[in-house]
Amino acid sequence: MELNEIFLSATGLIIGYFLRQTHTDLKRIQSDFAIWKAKTESENGKLRGRVDLLEMDIKNELKSFKQINEIQYKSLREEMIEMKALLNEIKKCTSK
């Protein structure tokens, strides 16, 4: 074998080794990325579920507050009507 052939063979072996290492590293990176992606999607799903629950809770609380305010408003309105009627009766009694 000539020196040139030995050099080419050695160069080929070195390049082959680095290509194999690069391929192995890329496969590992793809695997790690797939695992990370699955975890992220799972966490995003859990967080979305929590957001949905909080949104429902807030809507329910708002609905409850609206109902309470409506009941209080009706009660105050009725009391005001009663007070107005009593004032009218007092005016009638005092004007006689």
Q: Which amino acid is at 51?
A: V
Residue-by-residue DSSP string for 15-36: HHHHHHHHHHHHHHHHHHHHHH
Share of the chain above pLDDT 70, in %: 98
Check whether 26 has a pLDDT greater than 90: yes
3-state DSSP helix/strand/coil % of the chain, to nearest 5: 95, 0, 5
pLDDT at res. 93 = 86
* CA separation, residue 59 to residues 32, 45, 65, 66, 70 (Å): 40, 21, 10, 10, 16
pLDDT at res. 38 = 92
Check whether 96 has a pLDDT greater than 80: no
- Tell me the average pLDDT of the chain: 92
Check whether 9 has a pLDDT greater than 70: yes
